[in-house]
Structure 1
Amino acid sequence: MLISLAIKNFAIVSQLEVNWHHQMTTITGETGAGKSIAIDALAQALGERSEASMVRANTDKAEVIASFDVSKLTTAQNWLKENELFNDDDCILRRVVTKEGRSKAYINGIQVPASQLKAIGSLLVSIHGQHAHQLLIKPDHQRFMLDQYAGNLELLNKLKLVYSNLQSTTSEFKQLTEKQAEFSAQKQLLQYQVDELNNAELTDGEYQEIENEHKRLHHANSLQGDTQNALDILHENDNGNAYSALQSALSLLQKSANLDSRLNPTIELLDSALIQLDEGTSELRNYIDQLELNPQRLIEVEQRLNLYVELSRKHQVFPELLIEKLTSLTDELNKLANSDTRLLELELEIEQAKTSYKELALALTEKRCHFAQQLNKKITASMKQLNMADAVFNIDISSDPETYSQFGSDKVEFLVSANPGQPLQPLLKVASGGELSRMSLAIQVIIAQKVTTPTLLFDEVDVGVSGPTASAVGKLMRELSNNTQVICVTHLPQVACYGHQQQFVNKQTSTGTTQTSMEALDQLGRIDELARLLGGDTISATTKANAQELLSIAHAH
């Protein structure tokens, strides 16, 4: 419940702090005094959109702090814990608005986005404005009110998830179906390309190998001549060769080493070179023996090499990357081939989603119909209390199993017959402004009894009613406050008298500035204020007596 509200530099309020009764508080005051300012300020603490015009003239910023007791509100406590904002039994919401129109929001001293104020605010307070009856004629709002009363939030959330899944699955199925013709042409091209590459029997590293082999075969004559000449120079030439020359040099040096041992390291190096020269010539001789002139093999290698070059040109990749290209094309072909399988899967998923949707939608329809019957009786009875003795209220629910939406398959419409003999018709066609206001109030009060929001604010929802009807409105609200905190801004003494607490709003103008204040009235203060509401500016003994009688009657309940 709302414990206190502190306001600073908001609109025409300089500074104000109000402590609230846990049951019913009524707020009264002269016309134009700013009776709804406290409600407007609280709305800021609850995350409503802020504007620069809210800041009091000649000040830098406006500030609103609303303190709530959440000790018995499990839902609010869980939300605060989930968002790491929990602070025992208190929940303090703070909003600061600068004169430039920028704002900052805080929950229990921690800065948060305004959207989080709105999220926790929806669990703490429900505000019913004086224009709520205008929403009542809208079918979407009528459905919303019925669902609120029936407690359909969890069921609607489940339905919304299933509907969202059905939408996305249906969309994918439609897109895939539209692309099937395009996929068919793509598959033919891909299949040809994959077959062509597969028929080439490409192997990893083959291109480099045949490229090297082609060079060798193409230059076989040159290789054979050059290597044979090299072998002659190194070992085979009888007129002189490197091997014989090195042997002769070593023989001379070995003889000289007997005279000077410093030649020994040189001899070791040359001896090692002689061994390597011998091994090298042996390897060269083997190479020459294996070297062959093979024109037929050259033709075969050229053909294979040309195949690689042609395929690489077609697929616009380097020859050595053709195998990677084959893998890529094969994967792409498999994906397209799987599109048929995916279509079958999607058809099954759509049917399953439709089945789930229809089960949930049917359950939603059944709950709506059940609670609609309850509301029909309660609202009809409540309207009779509000001086609409012959009115009949009925909620019409029509369902189309083939209609899919996030709200179910039902069309919900509030119907009323205001006078005997009149058929039930939509509210807009039947009810006058005053009647619509009374219906709206009756519906709001009854629905509020089922909604778990701990604080209900009614901002002049009694517009258009008077006399005995107004007294019935006050009585309804007082009964409602047995289960939840009620704050009501009113101009009617017959409503104001039912409050367990009454706040008086006063506007004063001094030295060119306007200031609004609010004070809790004691018993004598309430009598004077109710007398003013009854008789205008002139308070007489008669109006005071009437005011005393109103309070006595109201508090006898």
Structure 2
Amino acid sequence: MLCQLSINNFAIVRFLELDFKPGMTSITGETGAGKSIAIDALGLCLGNRADASTVRPGATKAEVSARFSLNDIPIAKRWLEDNDLDLESECILRRTIGSDGRSRAYINGNPVPLSQAKNLGQLLIGIHGQHAHHAMLKSEHQLTLLDSYANHKMILDSVATGYQRCKLIEKELKALQLSQHERIARKQLLQYQVEELDEFSLTPGEFEEIEAEHKKLANGTALVEACKNELFILQDNDEGSVESLINAGITQAQELESYDPQLKNVVSMLNEALIQVQESSSELESYLTGLELDPQHFAYLEQRLTKTMQLARKHHVNASELATHHHKLKQELLSLDSDEEALDDLRQQVEASRESYLVHAKKLSQSRIRYAKELDRQVTQSIHELSMPKGKFTISVDFNPELSSPNGCDCIEFLVTTNPGQPLQPLSKVASGGELSRIGLGIQVITAKKVSTPTLIFDEVDVGISGPTAAVVGRMLRKLGESTQVLCVTHLPQVAGNGHQHMFVNKKTKSGKTETSMMSLNKDQRVEELARLLGGDKITNNTLANAKELLRI
């Protein structure tokens, strides 16, 4: 419930602090006095857009603060808790707007994005404006009204979730299908390339091995001659091989060691050198024995090396990368095969998600039909009370799978007949301005009863209504105020007289400056204000008596 509203330097308000009570509060004032200023200021706390023009001339900033009791609003308490904002029995929404147009929003003293203020505001207050009945001519608004009355949010969420899932899977399927022709061409090329490389079957590291062996065999003759020459130098040269020279050196060193023991290491190192030379000679002999210069094997290596180079050039890779490239092509071919499987799987998923969506959409449609019948009876009864005794109201709910949307597959249309013998027709084609106002007001009051919002504001929704009809509207709003806090801006005494309390808006000009004020009226002041509404500026005994009668009623 809204407990208090404080306004500083907003529009033509310098300072205003208002305390609100449960029940229905009537708000009246002269034309142009600014009866809706409090509603506009409250809208800023709830996240409405603002600009520098809302700041009172001469002030640096405007500030609006609204305090709410959360005792009977568990959903708002949960929201504050989920968003890590201070949770107490009361909640304060504050908004500041600078003269430069910049604004800031606060919840319980914490700076928040404007979107958060909007989200919380929707849980605290519902505002019905004077032009709401015109919006009611639109099919989408009619659907919103019916869903608000039905309050089947869980079903709506299921339908919206199912719709988004359908669209997501359909998008994936479409993306795959759009590239199907390219995939087919790519697959054909890959199949040819992989088959060619499979047939050649080059293994990782094989190219390096072939290249090394080919080089060895290509230089086989020179290799044999060089090895024999090396053996001749090491051990076969009778005149002075390396081995014989080292042996001679060892003998000489041993003789020197006998003269001086410090030369012992020289003998040891020469012995080690001799062993190394002998092992090198043995290694060369073994190598020459095992060296086979097979012309046929050389021809095989030549052919394989040439083919490797040709395929590498064909695939624009280095010969050493051909085996890796072959593996990559095979993996890509496998992935294309899996894409075909994914297409089939996605087609099945699209069908399954569509069926699931339609199940939820049909459930939603059945719920709408049920509550539409309930709303039909109540709105028809309401328009009978609002001076349309022969009127009839019906909501048409037409389920059409081709109209799938996040809101289901229903086409909603408000139908009405205002005179006996006339068929039901769309609201926009039948109702006059006054009739539309009455029907719209009846629907707003009825749907407001079903909405959990603890505070409802009706801003001159009684435009186009007068006389006995206005009295009925007043009684409707008063009855609504018995279960919900109602703030009603009105110019009709029959409506204002039904308020549990009454506030008066006044505008004064002093020293060239205009200022709006707002005050709560006592019983005597209410009588005078109702008399003014009944008779204009000239208040007579008759208008005073009529005003007292309105209050007694």
Alignment correspondent of 2:500: 500
Alpha carbons 2:28, 2:490 under 8 Å: kept: yes
RMSD across aligned C-alpha pairs, in angstroms? Answer: 1.6
1:476 positional shift: 0.3
Q: 2 CA distance for matches of 1:430 and 1:414?
A: 11
Q: Deviation per CA, 1:140-183: give whole Å up to 9, x if none.
A: 10111011111122211111111222223233334434443332
Alignment correspondent of 1:151: 151
SS at match of 1:515: strand
State the one-letter code of the partner of 2:93.
L
Matched, 1:38 2:31: no
1:506 positional shift: 1.3
Alignment correspondent of 1:385: 385
Alignment correspondent of 2:454: 454
Alignment of 1:2-21 (within 5 A): 2-21=2-21
Alignment correspondent of 2:482: 482
Alignment correspondent of 1:273: 273
State the one-letter code of the partner of 1:524.
D
1:497 positional shift: 1.4
Q: Deviation per CA, 1:465-522: give whole Å up to 9, x if none.
A: 1121111111100100111111111111111111112111111112222111111111
1:327 positional shift: 2.5
Q: What TM-score do the two structures reach when normalised by structure 2?
A: 0.96
Aligned residues: 553
Alignment correspondent of 2:99: 99
Alignment correspondent of 2:180: 180
Matched, 1:294 2:294: yes
Alignment correspondent of 1:51: 51
Matched, 1:198 2:216: no
Matched, 1:428 2:413: no
Alignment correspondent of 1:137: 137
SS at match of 2:212: helix
Alignment correspondent of 1:533: 533
SS at match of 1:423: coil
Q: Deviation per CA, 1:221-267: give whole Å up to 9, x if none.
A: 22222222222212221111112111211211111112122222232
Alignment of 1:180-329 (within 5 A): 180-329=180-329
Q: 1 CA distance for matches of 2:515 and 2:232?
A: 120
Q: Deviation per CA, 1:173-223: give whole Å up to 9, x if none.
A: 344344433322222111111111111122121111111111111111222
1:135 positional shift: 0.2
State the one-letter code of the partner of 1:153.
K
Q: 2 CA distance for matches of 1:457 and 1:323?
A: 77
State the one-letter code of the partner of 1:453.
T
Alignment correspondent of 1:471: 471
Alpha carbons 2:503, 2:520 under 8 Å: kept: yes
Q: 2 CA distance for matches of 1:50 and 1:321?
A: 65
SS at match of 2:416: strand
SS at match of 1:95: strand
State the one-letter code of the partner of 1:552.
R
- Between 1:55-64 and 1:454-463, the stretch displaced more is 55-64
Q: 2 CA distance for matches of 1:450 and 1:117?
A: 23
Q: 1 CA distance for matches of 2:320 and 2:64?
A: 73
Alignment correspondent of 2:512: 512
1:405 positional shift: 2.0
Alpha carbons 2:63, 2:95 under 8 Å: kept: yes
1:368 positional shift: 1.1
Q: 2 CA distance for matches of 1:243 and 1:45?
A: 105
Alpha carbons 2:496, 2:530 under 8 Å: kept: yes
Q: 1 CA distance for matches of 2:137 and 2:153?
A: 22
1:10 positional shift: 1.3
Q: Deviation per CA, 1:75-95: give whole Å up to 9, x if none.
A: 111111111114122221111
Q: What TM-score do the two structures reach when normalised by structure 1?
A: 0.96
State the one-letter code of the partner of 2:393.
F
State the one-letter code of the partner of 1:338.
S
Q: 2 CA distance for matches of 1:333 and 1:122?
A: 55
SS at match of 2:403: coil
Q: 2 CA distance for matches of 1:317 and 1:107?
A: 64
SS at match of 1:22: coil
Q: 2 CA distance for matches of 1:59 and 1:272?
A: 104
State the one-letter code of the partner of 2:362.
L
Q: 2 CA distance for matches of 1:327 and 1:105?
A: 60
State the one-letter code of the partner of 2:330.
T
State the one-letter code of the partner of 1:514.
T
- Between 1:263-272 and 1:110-119, the stretch displaced more is 263-272
Q: 1 CA distance for matches of 2:82 and 2:100?
A: 33
State the one-letter code of the partner of 2:242.
A
Q: 1 CA distance for matches of 2:248 and 2:361?
A: 109
Q: 2 CA distance for matches of 1:439 and 1:486?
A: 19
- Between 1:506-515 and 1:401-410, the stretch displaced more is 401-410
State the one-letter code of the partner of 1:93.
L
Alignment correspondent of 2:351: 351
1:443 positional shift: 0.2
1:138 positional shift: 0.4
Alignment correspondent of 1:126: 126
State the one-letter code of the partner of 1:49.
R
State the one-letter code of the partner of 2:338.
N
State the one-letter code of the partner of 1:431.
A
Matched, 1:418 2:418: yes
1:319 positional shift: 2.3
Q: 2 CA distance for matches of 1:76 and 1:310?
A: 74
Matched, 1:550 2:550: yes
Q: Deviation per CA, 1:306-360: give whole Å up to 9, x if none.
A: 2221222222222232232222222221222223322322232222222212221
Q: 2 CA distance for matches of 1:322 and 1:83?
A: 58
Alpha carbons 2:51, 2:101 under 8 Å: kept: yes
Q: 2 CA distance for matches of 1:351 and 1:427?
A: 38
SS at match of 2:134: helix
1:400 positional shift: 2.1
Unaligned runs of 5+ in 2: none
SS at match of 1:509: strand
Moved over 6 A (4+): none
Alpha carbons 2:204, 2:324 under 8 Å: kept: no
SS at match of 1:292: coil
SS at match of 1:389: coil
Q: Deviation per CA, 1:417-449: give whole Å up to 9, x if none.
A: 112222211111111111111111100000011
State the one-letter code of the partner of 2:337.
A
State the one-letter code of the partner of 2:192.
Y
State the one-letter code of the partner of 2:348.
L
SS at match of 1:7: strand
Q: 2 CA distance for matches of 1:157 and 1:410?
A: 15
Alpha carbons 2:454, 2:484 under 8 Å: kept: yes
Q: 1 CA distance for matches of 2:13 and 2:297?
A: 103
Alpha carbons 1:77, 1:86 under 8 Å: kept: no
Q: 1 CA distance for matches of 2:76 and 2:420?
A: 46
Q: Work out the percentage of aligned pairs sharing the same amino acid.
A: 49
Q: Deviation per CA, 1:272-309: give whole Å up to 9, x if none.
A: 22222222222122222222322222211111112221
Q: 2 CA distance for matches of 1:245 and 1:108?
A: 103
SS at match of 1:258: helix
1:14 positional shift: 1.5
SS at match of 2:7: strand
SS at match of 1:289: helix
